[in-house]
Structure 1
Amino acid sequence: MYAMATGRFLNKTYAKQCIAEVKIDFGSLPSNYGIKIASVSPPGVGFNGGYNTEIEVKSKCCREIIFRKASKPFSPLEEDILITVYPMEIVEGWIPYTPSRDDVKMELSISDSEVNVTVFITFRHAGFNVTWGSVSRKDSRFIADAKVYEWTGPAAQVITVKKHTYELGKLKPGSYIFEFRANGVKISELSFTIKSSSNICALLFSLSAIAIAAILTKIAS
Structure 2
Amino acid sequence: MIIAQIMAGGIGKRMGNVPLPKQFLMLGSKPIIIHTVEKFILHKSFEFILISVPEDWISYMEDILNKYNIEDERIRVICGGKERNDTLDNALKYIENEGNFTGEDCLITHDAVRPFVTRRIIEENIKALKNFDAVDTVIPATDTIVEGSNGYISNIPIRDLMYQGQTPQSFKITSLRESLEKLKISERQKLSDSAKIMLLDGKKVKMVAGDISNIKITTPYDLTIANAILENFH
TM-score bracket, shorter-length normalisation: under 0.3
Query: Whose strand fraction is larger, Structure 1's or Structure 2's?
Result: 1
TM-score by length of structure 1 reads 0.18
TM-score (norm 2): 0.18
Higher relative contact order (CA 8 A, sep 6+): 2
**Higher-helix-fraction structure:** 2
